[in-house]
Structure 1
């Protein structure tokens, strides 16, 4: 019987910097699969020759979203793509937070501002008690994102207008000061909790858009409490898909009364922090092997 071929899909930056990528490729090969990293936008890749394509670190998709979504649809038409193309499309725009909220999931309160609408932004629009965070609805790694303190209403409005003038939807969220206690990232494999990490907050300097910031600082293994697992599981249950994602990362922060709320639900190319958790790498391999049809 032929060995299942698996494409571990990445980008040029992913090949250079993704610490999980070689771990995954090596684990798949050690488990008897024919695995190789493949840059998603490489011309003339015969995707139909792979039995499975697993998205790993397509980190440039945000700046080329339409092209990436077209690639996902085309690839899914000739092989099995995980996560599937409809999940990728749904998760590519953070309007999904509104959908999660409608399903009763505790999320960071979010107001969306849409381009083309006649908005007269005033300081009152950015008047949360602890300041606000302004970011585009299509973003990764805190791209074009900043937080503003209560006295920085004018700067926050200027940031929002800049994004709107670029024809980009804008998110305005209250800044939750208990993020200083750390963001929690809970990783799920096949819909089941695998492991978690805690990391330092990202938006440490008010009023600064820094697209070169390091996205994951102070990473340490973390044991989530029951309320955090429950909130993350509720977010996954609200994903509009008939089957659980192969992989998922749910980023949580604490609100002002200490309850976990969803900051982001990452189903496309999240860092899974497998280098911190060998058991998680094993779970990931097993899930991929099942989908690749490998004989275990």
Structure 2
């Protein structure tokens, strides 16, 4: 049996900004695997020549969703794709938050508005303010929060997105997000490590697509309740097998209990530079998966 070939999948615009990418490629090579970074939409990369394709930083997927999902389906027929194509499709639209809520997972209350639906200011006039964003997005793009009394501004934001054919999410602003968002990383179904980062929507009423997506990252030790919440969210994912990687983003509700903000299963930053043990776990999981693929 030859050396397993691993494609670590990225995007042209992301490769130079993905701090995890060189760490993963180098660690896989050190572990005896033939790993290389491959751009997902590159011409004829020959996916069938890889034993495993691991999606890592395809950060432009939300702007080209149809094309990306077609790529995932096609690549999954040529080689083993992780996370799997059906999970990628399910996780690409944040309407999965409704599935989590239906299954009893504590999640940020979210209302979804589809193109063609009317906006009413009363739906945007929440006591602590409101967050408006598209259901398909990454890196807080086209997202803003609005303070109480600014419902008209929030409605204009939502209508702008709806007029472009995009489904809109309307969520209450969580004031305790100023204490930091928690990101819990899981590898092969087991908790690996966590970080805490500062709030992103620091300036109300502003759509800033150049903002830093993960400000002030520091290692974090999650509480037992946070771990339970994250595991409950992962248990709701429609996948028969443990995922190769997952990140569960949490914040505190007004009762100081954790709620799921997002469940990142496609191309999350895993913050591996803050957790060498997480990098080793990922390498071991990829090696094990490549052996299964080769078998």
| Coarse TM-score class (shorter-chain normalised) | over 0.9
Runs of 4+ deviating beyond 6 Å: none
Specify the alignment match of 2:220 in structure 1.
222
Number of matched pairs: 293
TM-score of the two chains, using structure 1 as the length reference: 0.98
Residues 4-83 of structure 1 correspond to what in structure 2 (within 5 A)?
A: 4-83=4-83
2-side partners of 1:4 and 1:258: how far apart?
46
2-side partners of 1:15 and 1:131: how far apart?
36
Residues 220-259 of structure 1 correspond to what in structure 2 (within 5 A)?
A: 220-259=218-257
TM-score of the two chains, using structure 2 as the length reference: 0.98
Specify the alignment match of 2:285 in structure 1.
287
Task: Say which SS state the counterpart of residue 77 (structure 1) adopts.
Answer: helix
Shift of the alpha carbon at 1:11?
0.5
Task: Say which SS state the counterpart of residue 87 (structure 1) adopts.
Answer: helix
1:206 has 2:204 as partner: yes
Shift of the alpha carbon at 1:13?
2.1
2-side partners of 1:152 and 1:91: how far apart?
31
Deviations 1:51-103, CA, capped at 9 Å, x for gaps:
00000000000100000000000000010000000000000000000001111
Task: Say which SS state the counterpart of residue 93 (structure 1) adopts.
Answer: coil
Alignment RMSD, CA only? 0.9
- Compare 86-95 and 10-19 and name the one that shifted more: 10-19
8 Å CA contact 2:125–2:150 kept in 1: the answer is no
Shift of the alpha carbon at 1:122?
2.8
2-side partners of 1:122 and 1:60: how far apart?
32
Deviations 1:87-128, CA, capped at 9 Å, x for gaps:
0000000000000111110000000001123x1x23211121
Q: Flag structure 2 segments of 5+ consecutive residues without an equivalent.
A: none
Task: Say which SS state the counterpart of residue 171 (structure 1) adopts.
Answer: strand
Shift of the alpha carbon at 1:283?
0.4
Shift of the alpha carbon at 1:227?
0.3
